[in-house]
Amino acid sequence: MNVPPVKRHHILAVDDDSMNRMMLDAILSTDYDFTAAASGPEALALLTEPAKPAIDLILLDINMPEMNGFEVLTALQQAPQTIGIPVIMLTGDLDQETEVRGIQAGAFDFVHKPFIPTLILRRIERTLELKALQHHMQQEIDRQTALAQAQLASTQRLFREMIETLADTIDAKDTYTHGHSHRVAEYAQEIARRAGKTAEYQRDVYYMAQLHDIGKIGIPSSLINKNGKLTEEEYAAIQQHTVIGGDILAHVAEMPELAEASRSHHERYDGTGYPDGLAGTEIPEKIRIIAVADSYDAMTSKRSYRDILPQAIVRQEMEKARGTQLDPEFDDIMLQMIDEDTNYELQEGRP
């Protein structure tokens, strides 16, 4: 059976003393591929040339003419091709300050001269083991990170799909507001975007708007789809969809804003809305945005008692609601969107 050859590690020694280079060659050649350089510049040239050998570890002398070991180390750490190669410094003196300086500069270890073969081999072996371990750890971290990211993306996708499914369920109940939740969500997200809100904020607004009418599930269909005028009791019953929606979504502890949006989307800026009579900034900002989108879509979609209103009328009504029913800042953004919508595409049944 053919056993594939084990890849030998390649060691580069940088030392201006030819005796040292020869000694290192003698010590290391049995176990490693070995290359020697007589100076820092020679080593750096070798490491960056196009046909550079794949060096796994560098033995670096400190006292050298031209460039000393620290200067070479700094250069190695600045080049992307060499930054990851572990460096063991070779030092003649037992100066602790030099060692501290070397470790701070990024050296992996130290070997003192004169060389003791067993010791130097052991240091190299240990450094290579540590480096391999580091490499495997990094690979594992990368793998786990990618896995976590994929899982997060999948969970977020599931969340979005579940919300859209629920929104479809709501819209299916109301014959005359088909696609209402989706359109309100899109308009509200666009208002938030134009108001300079973050992507996260826009996404929250989108989800909140998708589910704002979920309480309609608790209202009899006959009432929701009734042709003709509602009695006072019937109107009061329909208004209950805000409270019912808030109660249903109170179960989503992870995103309390969903319940708030459902409960408060019929509050009015002037405080005359329902169910709590909140006014101005008492109504959370995202819900003030949704209220604008909701009013707009109510006028630009078919109702049991009327067709889609002409754009000029819609504009007039949105203008009238400014500061009374709706927050002027976000109503202004909607008015701007209406003015830009010269083909009147922002309505039910249009793209």
Active site residues: 216
Using the rule CB under 5 A, give the single segment among 69-77, 213-221, 309-317, 335-343 that binds Fe ion. Answer: 213-221
Interaction mask 173-192, Fe ion, x per CB under 5 A:
--------------------
Query: Site for Fe ion (CB under 5 A): how many residues?
Result: 1
DSSP state of 87: E
> Considering the rule CB under 5 A, would residue 267 count as an interface residue with Fe ion?
no
Residue number of the CB atom closest to Fe ion: 213
| Closer residue to Fe ion, CB minimum distance, 274 or 344 | 274
Question: What b/e readout covers 312-328, taking b as 16+ CB neighbours within 10 angstroms?
Answer: eebbeebeebbeebbbe
Neighbours of 64 (CB within 10 A): 20
Least distance from Fe ion to the Cβ atom of residue 160, Å: 21
Least distance from Fe ion to the Cβ atom of residue 245, Å: 8
| Closer residue to Fe ion, CB minimum distance, 173 or 194 | 173
| Closer residue to Fe ion, CB minimum distance, 75 or 237 | 237
Which residues 125-144 are close enough to bind Fe ion by CB under 5 A? none
CA neighbor of 340 nearest in space, from 348, 350, 328, 332: 332
Using the rule CB under 5 A, which residue among 213, 267, 297, 327 binds Fe ion? 213
What is the Cα–Cα distance from 303 to 172, expressed in whole angstroms?
14
| Closer residue to Fe ion, CB minimum distance, 61 or 171 | 171
| Closer residue to Fe ion, CB minimum distance, 60 or 224 | 224
Using the rule CB under 5 A, give the single segment among 68-76, 154-162, 211-219, 319-327 that binds Fe ion. Answer: 211-219
Using the rule CB under 5 A, give the single segment among 42-50, 100-108, 206-214, 341-349 that binds Fe ion. Answer: 206-214
Backbone angles phi, psi at 303, to 5 degrees: -120, 165
Least distance from Fe ion to the Cβ atom of residue 151, Å: 35
Using the rule CB under 5 A, give the single segment among 41-49, 166-174, 184-192, 209-217 that binds Fe ion. Answer: 209-217
Question: What b/e readout covers 105-136, taking b as 16+ CB neighbours within 10 angstroms?
Answer: bebbbbbeeebeeeebbebbeebbeebeeeee
What is the Cα–Cα distance from 211 to 169, expressed in whole angstroms?
10
| Closer residue to Fe ion, CB minimum distance, 44 or 290 | 290
What is the Cα–Cα distance from 104 to 99, expressed in whole angstroms?
8
What is the Cα–Cα distance from 267 to 50, expressed in whole angstroms?
70
CA angle (214 as vertex; 211, 217 as ends), nearest 5: 160
User: What element of type H or E holds 90?
Assistant: strand 87-91
List of residues contacting Fe ion (CB under 5 A): 213
